[in-house]
Chains A and B, each alone.
Chain A
Amino acid sequence: MRILGLLILLFSSVSAFATPDIQTWQTENGAKVLFVPANEIPMLDVRIVFDAGSARDAGVGGLAVLTNGLLSEGAAGRSAQQVAEAFESVGAEIEYDAARDMAVVGVRSLTESRYLSVAIETLGQILTQPDFPQDAYQRELNSMKVAVKARQQSPSAIAGEAFNKAVFGDHPYAAPESGTMESLEKITLDKVRAFYKRYYVASNATVAIVGNVERWQAEEIVKALVSGLPVGEKPAALPAVKALTKASRIVIDYPSEQTHIFVGQPGIKRGDADYFSLYVANHVLGGSGFTSRLVDVIREDKGLAYSVYSYFSPLREAGAFAMGMQTKSDQTGQSLELLDQQLRKFVEEGPEKDELVASISNITGGFPLKIDSNRKLLGYIAMIGFYDLPIDYLDNFIANIRAVDVASINDALRRRIHPDKMVTVVVGKQRDDTL
């Protein structure tokens, strides 16, 4: 670290750097819009986000993912084949996905009008007039069952599922996004249609656009996309995630070479008061790759793992805080001990001053990289809109990170992270002494 100080000093002038100008408005039917003009490349990215992720499955695990996946399988009387041909004939790339909170539909297109108009028209159709054909429904449902089996042959997926179940208990975040064999049996086409009708509505929609169009064009595009959606209603708030009351250990026997380990608890929300303190704290602990403590101790010092990390996964409600790694089965006990030691030491003592300086320096210095492409910008403005973060979130990001100090980290860690109440999941070959 000796030379480090010198080099930071030598290169400490942060170049004048403009954050993007985010324009916002609301459509007549209540959808929220965020737009960033980007004129360098003749292309456009648009993404519509609904609060229609798996957290809205209401016990029918997989419903949100299936509904989202079926949108492009037939719309406005056009078959899945016709929809795909429409996009691909103009070189447009459709995106769709449903995660815990968000269900996303979008497209990347060239901005030349004969291409863009086809891409936008087709996207509007799958968004507002999906047909949910019976044959597509059955096929996609079957495909999700194959995906469940694929997870069953992956020790890391098995560990991740067990971890979520233990961390989130009876909260909707506990269930696998793509469902289980049992939950998929509960899905019906009527439930899919009802889910779409309830959640794919304008007042539950955020539209993010980045690309080479003028404001008036962006307004036209948004209108073409979402004006066909009913106003609808925002869904009720999700329940709060309950804190864990005691430690637990889940051990799953699996014949893999490595044991997969997760240790964690409920973490933080988007917009959480401790967000920036814990963001920086995690950077020091296990969020920054080679310069993090976990990599230093477990990989560099002991050679126990290729991949070891920690993360906060902030969601609408508190997402997980987790430490994860994989190691040769007979090193499991040693690894668990080290993770526990590292976490306890970190929560008790917090980061060293120079670690904090280095982390803040990395996060602030690296900020331009976070928004250096249309794709990344799109992700940020979709997130800002969806989670109702301040519109100047990006403008203030660096200042918010710089405001973090050792005291605020220590305070946040002690209040929020509880080494005595962690969920520990171990998936791999079990010997009696690891049980």
Chain B
Amino acid sequence: MNMKSIVALLAVATLLLGWVLYHRDEPIPEHSDAEIQSYQLSNGMKILVIENHRAPVMVSQVWYKVGASYEHDGITGLSHMLEHMMFKGTEEHPAGEFSEIISANGGEENAFTGQDFTAYFQKIANDRLELCLQLEADRMRNIIFDEKEFIKELEVVKEERRLRTEDKPTALTFERFNAVAYTNSPYRRPIVGWMEDLETMTVEDAHKWYETWYAPNNATLVVAGDVLAEDVFRLAKQYFGQLPMSRIPQLKPRHEARQYGTQRVTVELPAKIPYLIMGYKVPVLTPDIVDTEDEQELYALEVLAGVLDGGNSARLSKNLIRGQEIANSASASYGMTARHESLFMLSAIPSEKIAVEVLEFALRDEINAIKTELPDEKELDRVKAQVVAAQVYKQDSIFYQAMEVGMLETIGLPWKVKDDYVEKILAVTAEQVQQVANKYLTDERLTVAVLEPLPIKSNSTDKTGSASLAGEKNVQ
């Protein structure tokens, strides 16, 4: 996008100010929750507060409804790159100053980008609330997109991709697994972006993305810790209240197209140990199915994951790591909180001298066992006991508490999902676990990726011109 169209977009945003009149600063009554106090500013920004007075600290998180799944081919990694640009300064606080101010005030800060969200946070003493809100409000609308800074930061992000993905055989395998598992869902693209897309990304791309998605009516502030909700609301209104709204684009639905049969991908890389990933297409929690029968299936899928991998007593450890001793590690997981259809995941590393095919067969066997034989009540009870306990343990982390609420809100789910979670898990029966296994863990929903190690050789050549094995030289 060139500068002109940015100006045009700003003009649209200004025109939209009239729409502000539809909102008033008020609590959000439809979302009553024992733990959360909520408020909505007239510009549409939501403020959620979880008071927790254990220690004189707080966490402040600003969540934006944008992430990798909002992108399309050619601009992958843009949400994440924009997250990096958010530390590059405004007129009021030039590059680096945000971090310096938070640091000098004893805070820790960072940000994270997911498929469905981008969030910025500070962990800091509770009397620094105002400072955090002031700085976050400033960078919601006033980031400077300087080309030189952008080009430098793009190099940093490319290094991040090399570090996290390219040089990690298991991560690279997972990336390719996703690219094959999903046909048209945006989840098939990596959050950090394809290298070519990074190489061709421009400062205008980032600026346009910022103008499109970073607005109070597309953001949620979550504050948890030793604060008073009324103080948070007052200060939020003071700093975010005057920011203009934007017209937030409506995304196309992009529901994952039907899969016809098992999909396979082999990743051959210099590595030492093989790695197996299996994923079955499964539904996730969407607002329209909350409190319906369809919803209960998702809780059954979570319990199913627990039966397979809810600790060291669960089946994968019991039967594959111990028992048959064919897996060095094995895991199963499912998460219902996502915007798009997702995957029930299994992954494993074979024991020494065990072929990946053997391991895949054994994992399928475990799934078949659940399909044909009802899981034991005691197994289910253990899974449920762990869920109940985790609900208590989570109170030890205000960051996690804020994160849970921020994510639900940003994905578009009611907070009651969090409150009802334990009860709905406890209601899952062995029959339901078996039913969802039969319904969803089927071959036509399956994608399998295998990392097949190639010898690790250096790319450099010695004087005779042949590739030399990786080796150590001690040059003193």
Name the A residues within 8 Å of B472 (CB-CB): 162, 250-252
| A85 contact from B273, B313, B393, B395, Cβ within 8 A | B313
Determine, out of A219-227, A272-280, A301-309, A386-394, the stretch whose residues face the partner at the interface.
A301-309
Give the distance to chain B from A179, nearest Cβ to Cβ, in Å.
Answer: 15
Name the A residues within 8 Å of B54 (CB-CB): 40, 372
> Can you name the residue of chain A whose Cβ is closest to the Cβ of B387?
A91
The yes or no answer to B345 lying at the interface (CB within 8 A) is no
| B385 contact from A91, A94, A363, Cβ within 8 A | A91
Distance A42 CA – B392 CA, assembled complex (angstroms): 7
- Asked whether, in the complex, the Cβ of A372 is within 8 Å of the Cβ of B57, the reply is yes
- Asked whether, in the complex, the Cβ of B475 is within 8 Å of the Cβ of A4, the reply is no
The yes or no answer to A77 lying at the interface (CB within 8 A) is no
Secondary structure class of chain A's binding surface, majority of residues: mixed
Name the A residues within 8 Å of B390 (CB-CB): 91
> Can you name the residue of chain B whose Cβ is closest to the Cβ of A80?
B322
- Asked whether, in the complex, the Cβ of A155 is within 8 Å of the Cβ of B167, the reply is yes
- Asked whether, in the complex, the Cβ of A152 is within 8 Å of the Cβ of B272, the reply is yes
The yes or no answer to B99 lying at the interface (CB within 8 A) is yes
> Can you name the residue of chain B whose Cβ is closest to the Cβ of A18?
B56
> Can you name the residue of chain B whose Cβ is closest to the Cβ of A358?
B104
| A153 contact from B169, B322, B389, Cβ within 8 A | B169
Name the B residues within 8 Å of A15 (CB-CB): 56, 125-127
Distance A305 CA – B157 CA, assembled complex (angstroms): 8
Name the A residues within 8 Å of B105 (CB-CB): 7-8, 11, 361-362, 365
Give the distance to chain A from B207, nearest Cβ to Cβ, in Å.
Answer: 19
Chain B, 51-107, CB within 8 A of any chain A CB: 54-57, 87, 93, 95-97, 99-101, 103-107
List 21 contacting pairs A-B, 8 Å CB cutoff, sorted by A: A3-B93, A11-B127, A13-B127, A43-B393, A87-B311, A91-B386, A92-B389, A139-B322, A152-B456, A153-B169, A153-B270, A253-B458, A288-B103, A289-B103, A304-B155, A306-B163, A326-B159, A326-B162, A362-B104, A429-B460, A435-B473
Binding site for A on B (CB under 8 A): 54-57, 87, 93, 95-97, 99-101, 103-108, 110, 123-128, 131, 151-160, 162-163, 166-169, 270-273, 310-314, 317-318, 321-322, 325, 328, 349, 351-352, 378, 381-382, 385-390, 392-393, 395-398, 453, 456-460, 468, 470-476
Binding site for B on A (CB under 8 A): 1, 3-4, 7-8, 11, 13-15, 17, 40-43, 72, 80-81, 84-85, 87-94, 108-110, 115, 136, 139, 142-143, 145-146, 149-150, 152-155, 162, 246-258, 288-291, 296, 299-307, 326-328, 357-358, 361-369, 371-375, 429-431, 435
Extra pairs beyond A3-B101, A91-B387, A258-B166 (16, CB < 8 Å): A1-B100, A4-B100, A41-B392, A43-B396, A88-B310, A94-B312, A108-B393, A110-B392, A248-B476, A254-B470, A289-B99, A301-B152, A306-B156, A357-B104, A368-B56, A373-B396
